[in-house]
Structure 1
Amino acid sequence: MTVARTKDCDAAPEGWRRARGGPSLVEVFRTIRVPTKGTPWRKFVAFLGPGYLVAVGYMDPGNWATSLAGGSKFGYALLFVALLSNIMAIILQSLCARLAIATGRDLAQACRDAYPRWTAWPLWVLAEVAVIATDLAEVIGTAIGLNLLFGIPLEIGVVITALDVFLILWLQTKGFRWIEAFIITLIGVIALCFLVQIAMANPDWSEVIKGFAPTTRIVTNPDMLYLALGIIGATVMPHNLYLHSSIVQTRAFGEGVPEKREALKYATLDSTFALMFALTINASLLILAAAAFNKTGNTGVEELQQAHSLLTPLLGSAIAPSLFGIALLCCGLNSTVTATMAGQIIMEGFIDIRIAAWLRRLVTRSIAIVPAIVVTILYGEGQTAKLLILSQVILSLQLPFAIVPLIHLSASRRRMGELVSPRWLTAIAVLIAVTLIVLNIKIIIDFATG
């Protein structure tokens, strides 16, 4: 159901510069009705959806290389790192929902309104770079999925990925609930594929449980620490912070403080449950690598194609690699939809300009496709993992420029009013930000010197 948009939906809170233009994703702003009466379950269902679009970014093809390498080399030991990084993500995404519900602004709009132009414009440029880097990982992941399933050469596969713009345009004509349903369906397919593969791999479940406990080996072993940093650094995706703060506003919650508090509660539950589901996907990939590769002595698996080719002889079933390819292709398609929306939100929020979605998609995809084609032609398919790693390094560079403004804005009582972030939550977020920034700087230094 749709509802009429409020006349003052574009008004900025007192103390902010006057806003120019309306909300990002204006076509779906406040279009999903939230029942004012009924059971808590009905209200929760009304808010169910945005969290799963956000969760897609935590299981995109860029995360597969680190999970495969970690599981094949160190078994189940890095499951604790996956859990820790997921907890960090839950807290940061809750701040995104808080900012959006309290102010009616997404993170991009909030940055534009709160900071001078000499600060806001560089933040916009860095955010656009992050979207392109995300696209790069999706291009490679989707192309590899097409190659594994249908034998399409990577050079052709990366070009085919540009056609996904038509899928997105079609979904947008159906309404936001259709987009959410599409994403959740593909996530379900991914989960089913990993469930079957793990059952075939027959992991040591006692070791799996131990893997979620912290160990000093992560700090004392340099190789393990490097992969741990890679998992953490690739988990929190900058574009997700902009995305979540916008799509949570598709819900038509009230304007009063009680209604906003209730909306914040259900939006936080939605993202928390969705990210815990994303944790099961990432953990499943790591468990599969540990059970199928590490246990059999294949400790150097990093390339997605290499993992695919090894699954048949190791698991004794021809269906295993097909399931791996299907899951990878679904991850690429899912990430495509959410990155497109994030790109639209970032451009319209920061510089108040609106261009056709298909045009923006073709431009950003073209920028991502060119390096993918160049690498595959010049160096062959075996170098795609290095391109995936490069995309994660670029995202690491941009990460602080999204997290720091988010924490700063959500902790401002002048901007947030009664929904200002509690001091304890801000303190935890600051600790997470410092940790992520330090770890990502180390990744970048290691990448540059290695």
Structure 2
Amino acid sequence: MKMKRAWLAAVILMALSHGVAAATVALVGGTLVDGTLREPIRNSVILVEGERIVAVGTVDSLPVPAGAEVISTEGMTVMPGLWDMHVHLMINGHADYDHWDKTYPPQFGSVIMPSSAEQLLMAGITSARDLGGPLEESLAVRDAINAGKIPGPTMYMSGPFIQKKPYPGTEQFRWGVDSPADARAKIRRLAEAGVDVIKLIDQDQMSEAEVAAIVDEAHRHKLPVIAHAHRPEEVRRGLRHGVDGFEHTGFGAAPEFPADVMEALAARTSRMADGPLFWTPTIEGLYNFPYTVRNHEFIDSDSWHRGLTPAIIADIRKSLEHPERIAYFQQTPQRQPTLRRKFEQLRSSGVVLLVGTDSGIPMKFHSQSTWNELDVWVNQFGVPPVDAIRAATYWPAVAMKVDGDYGTVTEGKYADIVAVRGDALRQIALIQNIDLVIKHGKRIK
């Protein structure tokens, strides 16, 4: 403890000696849930210099430098910036995909994707993974955010879905493969363009050689492969060929994951040398549907209007006039009762669960989705709040191999910090109203 205090004092002294004390920001007084396994820090102090956190302590252990800008977090829960590990910036909650895909591609890069990104950031999502979108627009939006030209989370982009055959009219953001050589060529093209991750779907419709080629070529370029898990054979093939993570729970109305899939998961998670196997269940949209179809006042919120044109807002609203008729959810009454069991199976299997939402699908607005996922995990499925928060902060950073810079509120990392009034460990739904958002040291909200 004495050594740590001496180090903190040295950091502060260095800042003062270089005349940058005025650039120091101090968050003072809140209960810090820092994303590690440490107990919450009461009466916390977080010192930020530029984009980085330089010290973390308490009001008793860490003095605030003279001249620092003080932001009071009294009465607040302070956390690392949240991650959403499964979003689609190119869609915004519209009920009719066919109409959307025919109407809005010209506005994906200029209006729709920037709007989605800003809505995520204002909801406290400081990092997000986009799994399926047009290549050029995805990278342009990511790079514009990183350059400070438009607001949004730090984005990790897959570009187009990789699948056996794109659905008609979706070739802009779905790429088919017709041989192992073609599969490798498509992955090389994505890697050379600069994507962060590969999104693989419908791999049970591919040959084993095509799946193997996709995963091998992606790994050659140090890109993780994230695969759909809608059907058992998708999981089997993904495991056989070494994908890095799975999305969704799927399987129609099957009451649980098949025994052979669970055995294969146990075998994979027991191989410690291979590292964690990540799984993003995106559970909330299906689990809450019976409630939201009857209680859809949230559609009247204007939080999802941010950045969209009046015409787009009107079109989305019109498409949601009858939530009970949305074709996307036609199988949900059969699937919804299976979700709890599948979630429990995944928790017990040894996979690392990540918070992600499929944000952008019908009625799932980027401004509202992530807190709902956390709420279901904690209040319906019994996940301890700290574990749920780590699944939305620490573990996503590990999954994307950026935990040296993100995921916890600790010295040396980027100052991505959010805060909410009240005790979020007792009432996780408080996260629906994020009061403070800091990204890379800059206060956004």
Instruction: Specify which structure has the bigger relative contact order, considering alpha-carbon pairs within 8 angstroms and separated by 6 or more residues.
Output: 1
User: TM (normalized to structure 2)?
Assistant: 0.23
User: TM (normalized to structure 1)?
Assistant: 0.23
Structure with more of its chain in strand, by fraction: 2
